[in-house]
Amino acid sequence: MNATINLENKHFPVLLKELISIISPLYGGTFIDCTFGQGGYSEKILESKENNIIALDRDKDVLSNTSKFYKKYNKRFEFYNLKFSQIDQIKFKKHKIKGIIFDLGFSLSQIKNPQKGLSFSDKGKLNMKMGINDFSANDVISNMDEKNLTKVFKVFGDEKYSKKIAREIVIKRKDKALKTEDLVEIIDNVKKYQK
């Protein structure tokens, strides 16, 4: 019998061995996983019964991953649906924190989820909210003035044609609500004519 393994949605935490060698969880302690995601780092740390995990993630979709952790690790696992910038909202009085982990960036499953609107390969409404953000990429593209759009593209995107892209967005959005494919077309056209 041949078994086919679907690895498309399987998450592999990057540099897991290296992380474990640095934080030395074998000796026990409480660790904070600030970007829980699918729980790869937390699961490895919790293999040692001396360890506890306090996990955070801003993405509400990870809540489905937490139930198995609560079931398997019971009181050794806590989860908070918070941004890591809100870590001060957690009371750590009973915990002696041994290490804090940040795995910054998006997972492949997040990028491939069209509802999240993280990929320029997808079509439809711009999103990029990642759970508990107050505004989406659609809000920014639809409402932000040209000057601030220029800053967003220049500062956060390191885009040398930020001013021209912002100008084109402001012009095009007068005619219709811009979708992901429209934004891609604007950026491609601006860059094509600058060469």
How far, in Å, CA of 53 to CA of 70, rounded? 11
Q: What is the rounded (10 degree) CA torsion for 137, 143, 144, 145?
A: 150
For residue 80, what pLDDT is reported? 94
- Closest alpha carbon to 89 in 56, 65, 132, 63: 56
Residues 6 or more apart from 85 whose CB is under 8 A from it?
A: none
How far, in Å, CA of 172 to CA of 79, rounded? 43
Averaged pLDDT, 174-195: 86
16 pLDDT higher than 70: yes
- What's the whole-model pTM score? 0.60
Contact at 8 Å (CB) between 100 and 76?
no
27 pLDDT higher than 90: no
**101 pLDDT band (50/70/90 cuts)?**
confident
For residue 191, what pLDDT is reported? 86
For residue 120, what pLDDT is reported? 59
How far, in Å, CA of 155 to CA of 153, rounded? 6
Averaged pLDDT, 153-164: 91
